[in-house]
Structure 1
């Protein structure tokens, strides 16, 4: 997709360029539910929570890992121990192929950033995250049906969830690393939230991997698809599109599917796995809420209506939005229904008077002016 580098001509030296799509998108007003959304009530508490070390699923639920020597070695030593910024550590996680090591490094990276107060920094994300030799990645049509997979139904569903959670680690870290050059625009809170999401996802993968092993299987025992990373890759040049494609569509699908998966596992007679899945689904509310918060924030900076911008980006980036929807979970996470459910509100007339690219340019100039004023008001030394 073509892109343009937008700068304010008179202040280009003060503001780093940011690439956006050149395709004009409509500018439109939106309903009050979109402009004044109700954020998830637990968002601030989630942000302020201490580091979550409950990475083992015990007899009664999550438990902290028992003290043990640091293994594998690369988790304790090597590049991760020497990294000096959040973005640099995120790039190392993305470059790690072994799933369990990736999970442990993800937790270590977030822990180091929280406890050592490291800067966001600036790093380059790999073109695609490192992956293990297994599972074999195939098209969705080639994923075997449960009866042909060689796994019992509970292990089959758990393997699929483990694949989602492993991808989710990379999706969150890619957002941190890829947009790290624009930390002054987005603010530290953006990167703190998505590093926190990556830490949650690494814990979820650890639970899935542990339970698979208890059932006598491993992640990689059946093929999987690469749809999640494909959605991530096509939004690599636009932070607003990334927020739409990943937390507001892909992660929101987890809110839709979670309860159904729990009921299937209960019907299968596996209460231990159903409890793990229920806990993961419950914690995904925070991740969708983070996406809503930062999407609304970006839209406000661009003076754009969130509802219409969400729909325009779905079309431009060919992001598929489909139900059935879990309205109660989506409401809790703060996604206004008129963003995704066309039956909830009447169609709003679109005002095509201003291309979105012009809005981006205006935003760049405004932020540049703010940066200049901040520099002028900063005490010398």
Structure 2
């Protein structure tokens, strides 16, 4: 069935398991929304879990094999596979955010997050293509389900979802990606480095969207923005917010040090 509402299109993305088909569904949803073919109507519920392909095998984070630091070709393939899995999961996170919470926001919320979902689909496609060029491919290695665990933890509160997913998990990518790019460049893998640089630039915009909508929602509901963000992170985020931080990139995303220093691990902050 061809979707004619935004919620139907989002649900369709979430229920598509095969990676290339999920990318196609995400692009079709984004195109349909941009061209006005999808009504801003939320007439179907989002699934509790998205459909997943048979591979990769999903393991608990504690059982994941060590990837190394990306110096050897095998290490670089493992790193690219891990990043591809993050981007694959991020497609679902973006469309779930719209389909689950979009009815509580004006259409420009969907504009932002459907655009994020399209970006994530493009990032995954670039990484999968690069893996294939290196003799790998998405699904060839195990992966973990940490991103969707964060989605489940925040399924009942859009502010918790925004606080944890873009403003913690994606913001962490801003901290670590430049060093990863440098390792790929040092190994002579400039093609992979260029892909990661593209992703890094886009992720600044994604974190900015998360911060913008978090602040706007807090203001409309009468919450003090930074204290409420810190409360939600302490309640819903299971990991640690670890330095060092890429303060420049975070500032570009509107995520000032006032947010995260109050909840960060104290060492080297």
Scaled to the shorter chain, the TM-score interval is: over 0.9
Higher relative contact order (CA 8 A, sep 6+): 1
Pick aligned residue for 2:259 from 339, 342, 345? 339
Tell me if structure 1 keeps the 8 A contact 2:88–2:121.
Answer: yes
Aligned residue number for residue 115 of structure 1: 35
Aligned residue number for residue 69 of structure 1: none
Describe the SS at the equivalent of 1:152: helix
Alpha-carbon spacing, 1:318–1:333, altered in 2? closer, same or farther (3 Å) = closer
Q: Which runs of 5+ in 1 are unaligned?
A: 1-78, 345-381
CA RMSD in angstroms comes to 1.7
Q: Normalized against structure 2, the TM-score is what?
A: 0.92
Tell me if structure 1 keeps the 8 A contact 2:230–2:262.
Answer: no
Alignment of 1:1-381 (within 5 A): 79=1, 82-122=2-42, 123-146=44-67, 152-180=74-102, 183=103, 185-320=104-239, 321-342=241-262
CA–CA separation in structure 1 for the residues paired with 2:263 and 2:146: 27
Q: Which runs of 5+ in 2 are unaligned?
A: 265-269
Describe the SS at the equivalent of 1:219: coil
Tell me if structure 1 keeps the 8 A contact 2:4–2:37.
Answer: no
Tell me if structure 2 keeps the 8 A contact 1:154–1:268.
Answer: no
Tell me if structure 2 keeps the 8 A contact 1:124–1:177.
Answer: yes
CA–CA separation in structure 2 for the residues paired with 1:153 and 1:331: 31
Between the two proteins, the alignment pairs up a number of residues equal to 259
Query: Aligned-pair distance for 1:255?
Result: 0.7
Structure with the largest fraction of helix = 2
Tell me if structure 2 keeps the 8 A contact 1:90–1:109.
Answer: yes
Tell me if structure 2 keeps the 8 A contact 1:245–1:319.
Answer: no
Aligned residue number for residue 21 of structure 1: none
Q: Normalized against structure 1, the TM-score is what?
A: 0.66
CA–CA separation in structure 1 for the residues paired with 2:73 and 2:193: 17
